[in-house]
Amino acid sequence: MSFIGNLIWLIFGGLIIALEYFVCSLLLIVTIIGIPFGLQTLKLGVLALWPFGSEARYEPQASGCLSTFMNVLWLIFGGFIIALTHVFWGIVLAITIIGIPFARQHFKLAGVALTPFGRTIV
């Protein structure tokens, strides 16, 4: 079931979302100061590419001051806007009954987009 969900997800917009994350990741990694943020957008791109059957877990060893500081910077400089777009599309998809599984994936992406530092994709 997750394979079919991922295939439908990719056809109807998931591939575009993942490509946007990968391009932004590449642009951030090109700059020296943006490398940590580029790695987080890469993480979001991987999750956006194959969201069904994947989950984001907190890393127990990454709960430090640096992770919290980077999450605050991330939230201020774009993470909040990214999360709002995922919440918007999640609400739009949740209106229809057939879109509820895809809305859940957007809500999962919104949670990761708020605080990506200290998380791992499993």
Q: What is the pLDDT of residue 106?
A: 94
Q: What is the pLDDT of residue 62?
A: 62
Counting the structural domains of the chain, the total is: 1
Instruction: Render each residue's pLDDT in the chain as its tens digit; 122 residues.
Output: 789 999 999 999 899 999 999 999 999 999 989 999 999 999 999 999 999 999 888 887 766 788 889 999 999 998 999 999 999 999 999 999 899 999 999 999 999 999 999 888 98
SS3 label, residue 62: helix
The whole domain housing 30 covers 2-121
**DSSP character string of 37-89:** HHHHHHHHHHHHHS-TT--EEE-GGG-SHHHHHHHHHHIIIIIHHHHHHHHHH
pTM metric for this prediction: 0.90
Q: What is the pLDDT of residue 58?
A: 85
Cβ partners under 8 Å of residue 9, min gap 6: 51, 52, 102, 105
